[in-house]
Amino acid sequence: MPWALLLRVCSWAVESLEGARVATPFHVRRPGHAISAGTVGVASNSHPRHHFQREEAPMPDEQLTFELHTSEEEKQHARREPDKGFPELHWRGKRPYRSTVYYPAQLKETFGQPDENGWMNKIFWGDNLQVMSHLLKEYRGQVDLIYIDPPFDSKADYKKKIEIRGVGSAESDSSSFEEKQYGDIWTNDEYLQFMYERLILMRKLLSDKGSIYLHCDWHRSHYLRIIMDQVLGMNNFRNEIAWCYTGPAAAQNNFPRKHDTILFYSKSGDNVFNTPRIKHKSGVHNTGQLFSDSNITENLELKEQLEIQGKKLEDWWIDIWSCDRYRSELLGYPTQKPEALLERIIEASSNPGDLVFDCFMGSGTTQAVALKLGRRFLGADINLGAVHTTTKRILNIMRSSQSSDDSIQGELG
Ligand SMILES: C[S@@+](CC[C@H](N)C(=O)[O-])C[C@H]1O[C@@H](n2cnc3c(N)ncnc32)[C@H](O)[C@@H]1O
């Protein structure tokens, strides 16, 4: 990775985040201090390369309001009846989204040095409704790609196993405990309201060429698609991707549920899309055409050309395993997604230098892959444990990229 890219990256004072505790949706702790003014990775022989300057800045106490519709025209448009024949989802307690009362950027960390355009990657700690309301002031229409992997309404609590060294039985020198990272238990239909409001803000952040990928599963995918039709427009539906995997299943009277659904919408019909291609011969992707169509089989040059080009990847993906198969990636964060999945999405729907955002960040898979692929990123999570995990992950990528740059420099003399 070019060194210049590293200078754009935010990194974090990891030690300042020790003692991360759980915050669950609707119980947002307001952090007391923001940590700012760090620098990392200065490409100079005389400068320490992972140098942090920490400066504790008190959080502003000013409460602000984000209004979705500012002009009378917009307000009237929002009150209009839905188009005839347009299905709209209703749930108990459905409320129109109008505004958010928020505090400016909950806990914000920016590190590194701004690039030539003044850009620095950033990660925020807090409820993403508040974080997005804050971001809209600066990034409205600026985000090129949003990937989110929100809670699925799976009725589970997600925990991380924490190892404590030096404590434990005589046979082992370590013991462990489980720390809750985030909850996914919702009452009534608050889940749908939660997603509806956030999707509205995400749309406002998207650039005209931007796309959004919402990762979900059978629990709520059918409702979320209707909500996305409403918020983003039916015409902007691009794909319902089935990400398939396999594994043991307890299913007795139904087929094991072994795929997630990724709903892909764009802001307009003019979205960035770099068509992913796959080898013709890879398993079920073999359409046979290349091997049975005599026009092709007899023209060896054409056949070779088509083989090299590969075939367009369809909307069902069976070549990416679930994260536990990629052992070297595992960070212990529950529901972590594999980097290969994010590579596919980010490469397809953004270009180098584009701005990628994930506000249900978890272990930071989106941010890590965005960094590796030369995209800029923003991130947010309500759980300080997620902020902590992502921070370490980003720093590790920067360090290993720096040492490989160093060894190349060494080889070149
Ligand atoms: C399924 S995990 C994301 C996993 C991530 N894709 C990865 O690869 O590690 C969902 C994340 O959403 C976060 N979350 C839930 N509600 C949130 C909210 N209101 N604002 C911000 N983050 C939230 C949780 O803390 C959790 O880290």
> 212-230: per-residue pLDDT in tens?
999 999 999 999 999 999 9
Q: What is the DSSP letter of 28?
A: P
Of 317-321, 346-350, 385-389, highest mean pLDDT:
346-350
Residues 186-209 have a mean pLDDT of 92
Residue 36 has a pLDDT of 26
- Cα of 176 vs its chain's centroid, Å: 29
Model pTM score: 0.81
Cβ(365) – ligand 1 distance below 6 Å: yes
Residue 46 has a pLDDT of 28
Instruction: Say whether pLDDT at 359 is over 90.
Output: yes
Residue 219 has a pLDDT of 92
Query: Which of 217, 341, 377, 382 is the pocket-test mutation for ligand 1 (most atoms within 8 Å of CB)?
Result: 382
Residues 384-407 have a mean pLDDT of 87
Contact 238, 264 (CB under 8 A): yes
Residue 164 has a pLDDT of 62
Rounded to the nearest angstrom, the distance between the alpha carbon of 213 and the centre of ligand 1 is 15
Give the confidence band of 318 by pLDDT, cuts at 50, 70, 90: very high
Residue 105 has a pLDDT of 61
Residues 186-195 have a mean pLDDT of 85
Residues 284-313 have a mean pLDDT of 78
Q: What percent of the chain has pLDDT over 70?
A: 74
Mean pLDDT of the chain: 79
Domains and CATH numbers, the chain: 45-249+256-276+313-412 (3.40.50.150)
Cβ(381) – ligand 1 distance below 6 Å: yes
In this structure, what token pair is assigned to residue 396?
Answer: 């590790």
Instruction: Say whether pLDDT at 163 is over 70.
Output: no
Q: Is the backbone of residue 118 left (phi > 0), alpha (psi -120 to 50) or beta?
A: left
**Closest residue by CA, ligand 1 atom 5:** 362
Instruction: Say whether pLDDT at 58 is over 90.
Output: no
Cβ(149) – ligand 1 distance below 6 Å: yes
Residues 129-149 have a mean pLDDT of 95
Residue 7 has a pLDDT of 34
Give the confidence band of 261 by pLDDT, cuts at 50, 70, 90: very high
Listing DSSP states for 138-204 in one string gives: HHTTTEEEEEE------SEEEEEEEEEET-S-SS-SEEEEEEEEEEE---TTHHHHHHHHHHHHHHH
Of 281-290, 343-352, 395-404, highest mean pLDDT:
343-352
**Closest residue by CA, ligand 1 atom 2:** 362
- Give the Cα separation of 388 and 374 in Å (integer): 22
pLDDT tens-place string over residues 9-57? 444 333 333 333 333 332 223 333 222 222 222 222 222 233 333 334 4
Residue 175 has a pLDDT of 66
Q: Looking only at Cα atoms, what is the longest distance across the chain?
A: 74
Residues 59-65 have a mean pLDDT of 75
**Closest residue by CA, ligand 1 atom 7:** 336
